[in-house]
Amino acid sequence: MVIVSLGISVLQAQNLPEGREWKALKIVKSEFSRKIGLMDAEREQYATTLSGIAIKQIHDTKASKRSLEQGRKLMALALHLSPRNKQTVVANAMLTRGNLPREVKPEYSKKGFARLLLTRGELLAKQGGAENEKLARYLIGMAVELDPENEDAIYLSEVRRLDHGELDWSQLTDPPVRGDR
């Protein structure tokens, strides 16, 4: 009898390591309206890159606790920018089910994307308005998370912390459900 291996195990989903869990991101309403200073195409590209970096990081670290925590922030920000971004929605659903999403190669490196987020955050802050300033804080805060050695990002993040208090990621990762606002 000849047994032929079809590589079926390659087609099966790779599970999160034992003891690691992903709490589903349930974004009912974006924190950022269509009035913010980002075009739709820009929001979509940022969302894809944010989730791509999260997925790569989770894969690279074999779903370490830190990578899952940071991945949650990255993907929450992505979903608030583009709630129906395919890559982000699929990755969130797979992780929620305990499966690792397909590994992707993000368009930017973490440091390169951190510089882009910093620059975009500065521009949003200069445009003014409460919503642009709020998004600017998250973009600059994420720039620090992605590149903790970027002194310009650290400085701007700290100045905003001094002026406005700690950045509360739970507003993005664990927003209130309908009726709570």
Chain-wide mean pLDDT for the chain?
90
pLDDT confidence of residue 1: 44
The token pair at 126 is 């200069």
* CA–CA separation, 120 and 139 (whole Å): 8
The structure's pTM equals 0.88
Q: Which residue has the tokens 């949003």?
A: 124
pLDDT digits over 33-81, tens only? Answer: 999 999 999 999 999 999 999 999 999 999 999 999 999 999 999 999 9
* CA–CA separation, 89 and 81 (whole Å): 12
Judge contact between 127 and 38, C-beta under 8 A: no
pLDDT confidence of residue 4: 41
pLDDT, mean of residues 86-101: 96
* CA–CA separation, 44 and 180 (whole Å): 27
**Domain layout of the chain by residue ranges:** 38-107, 109-173
Number of C-beta neighbours around residue 146 at 10 A: 25
Number of C-beta neighbours around residue 141 at 10 A: 22
pLDDT confidence of residue 16: 87
- Is the pLDDT score of 5 beyond 70? no
